[in-house]
Amino acid sequence: MPQIKVTTFDSPLAGLDVDVLLLPVFENADSASPWEALDEALGGRVGEALGSRPFSGKARSCLAVPLPAGGELGEVLLVGLGKVEELTPTSYREAIASGTSAAVRRNGERIAIAGRDDAAAGAEHAAAATEAVLLSQYRFDRYKKPSKDATQLAELLLPEGAGVGDAIERAQRICRGVAWARDLINLSPSDKRPPALADLVADVAAKVGLRCEIIDEARARKLDMGALLAVAQGSTTGPRLVVLEHAPEAYATQAPVVLVGKGVTFDTGGISIKPSAGMDEMKADMSGAAAVVATMRAIAEIDLPRRVVALVPMAENMPDGDAYRPGDLVTAMNGKVIEVLNTDAEGRMILADALAYGVSEFSPECIVDLATLTGACVVALGEDVAGVMTNNDALSAELVAAGTRVGEPLWPLPMFAEYDKLIESKVGDIKNTGGRWGGAITAAKFLENFVGDTPWAHMDIAGPAYRTKAKPLAPRGGAGFAVRLLVDWLHERDAG
């Protein structure tokens, strides 16, 4: 994440020493009334622009207002919020993100955002604006440095107000988590093979105060994690299961929420090899793992008053001579015998042992797993919406509500008993694929075999986890999807 300083101001807008001042404008606004003092100081330039230019205030549209030379303000940029009755926290973030990107393109290194009471006020405004700016300005430059001539935002100024400082600090900490998730997803797969990725996570865990344990291949064998080991056996590097725990002293004995994230660091499909086109994007098949570890980092930094455990199974799925095969029968940690029909259905295999371990080891209050699990979910819901499947409708509703609040949408898919028949095996307990139809649901039905009676939800994030095209809050590449969702959900669950 770029090092952007976020501060507050309580001086008149006209006296701000910034390159660009963003003014949020509703659609079809016909006056500069929210900024009368500014408009007067600028000789009516804002009102003139609103009344005479082809700018309607449509959501995410922008218009630069010419200013007289010699003033403190470098430039004013009108930013459309859309219709007032249609404004949501998500549309507000996206508008501010679009305006910020436009300001940076106009060489804005130091920008301010004016608040308006009818859009978002005080701490809520500050948090939303901070998220919009920091997330929209994320750049991944580990392997290719940005041009020396490219403008980079250095400072953001927001209106001062009650609770604003705390809201800014909290938003910054959460955004650091999102940026870290994006970094991990965008890493070259050769730099995040399971042992290396586990060490990266352990290093950050130590810095933020999370307990970390790394279960290696030898320990996984002692734990009878046959499904995790099967997927990993085609790779020259062994698997890992990373265990993270956030447990403030007052909550150390509390039944934890357990988060599980799929960490296939590269997925060739194994013996059931994928087509070569687009296989480079399979470096993102650990997006669930990235989201989970980044969530743990964020809740440690904001000191969430709750015990949370994360389990991150990591493996490479490679087509080596030792790779597991279609037709293999594999015994998972909980004793379930899995008939392997497709080695490219590997994510559910490594999740199976992690789920079973979480249930047996931690007796959780509830368990939520995240995975880029099926193309079928993308077919059903598209690239912007994740699916959620559950054995507990109340838990699903909580997650959907959190997704709505932060702008990371989830949609429930059914878990009818009829789907169980599609994964019944004649030679084992279950098959690792139910075939073409209802693929996202049968994958979830497979996972359900490893959670017992524990309240559980599965989030298939295959669509929104990796952006093939940029959006206002996320450039192309790893999106860090669900970090903000999970932090919000955990906060609200604690508050409730």
Q: What domains can be seen in the chain, in order of their start residue?
A: 5-160 (3.40.220.10), 173-495 (3.40.630.10)
Which entry of 58, 274, 405, 493 is annotated as an active-site residue? Answer: 274
Cβ-based neighbours of 351, under 8 Å, separated by 6 or more: 260, 262, 313, 369, 371, 447, 450
What is residue 146's predicted lDDT score, i.e. its pLDDT?
77
Angle at 360 between CA 489 and CA 484, to 5 degrees: 15
What is residue 92's predicted lDDT score, i.e. its pLDDT?
94
Residues found in the chain: 496
What is residue 52's predicted lDDT score, i.e. its pLDDT?
73
Question: What beta strand segments (E) does 54-191 contain?
Answer: 62-65, 76-82, 110-113, 155-159
53-96 pLDDT per residue, tens: 678 899 999 999 988 777 778 899 999 999 989 999 999 999 99
3-state secondary structure of 304: coil
What is residue 121's predicted lDDT score, i.e. its pLDDT?
62
C-beta separation of 92 from 407 below 8 A:
no
Q: At which residue do the structure tokens 């075999």 appear? A: 449
Low-confidence spans in the chain with pLDDT less than 70: 1-2, 53, 117-121, 495-496
Helical (H) or strand (E) element with 370:
strand 366-371
Which entry of 170, 297, 348, 445 is annotated as an active-site residue? Answer: 348
What is residue 150's predicted lDDT score, i.e. its pLDDT?
83
Q: Which residues share a beta bridge with 471?
A: 474
337-386 pLDDT per residue, tens: 999 999 999 999 999 999 999 999 999 999 999 999 999 999 999 999 99
Quote the pTM value. Answer: 0.96
Active site residue 348: yes
Q: Which residues of 164-198 are buried (b: 16+ CB within 10 A; e: fewer)?
A: bbebbbbbbbbbbbbbbbbbbbbbebeebbbbbbb
Q: Which two three-digit tokens encode residue 349? A: 């295999």
What is residue 67's predicted lDDT score, i.e. its pLDDT?
85
Active site residue 60: no
Q: Which letter does DSSP use for residue 192 in this model?
A: -
d(CA 198, CA 378): 28
3-state secondary structure of 359: helix
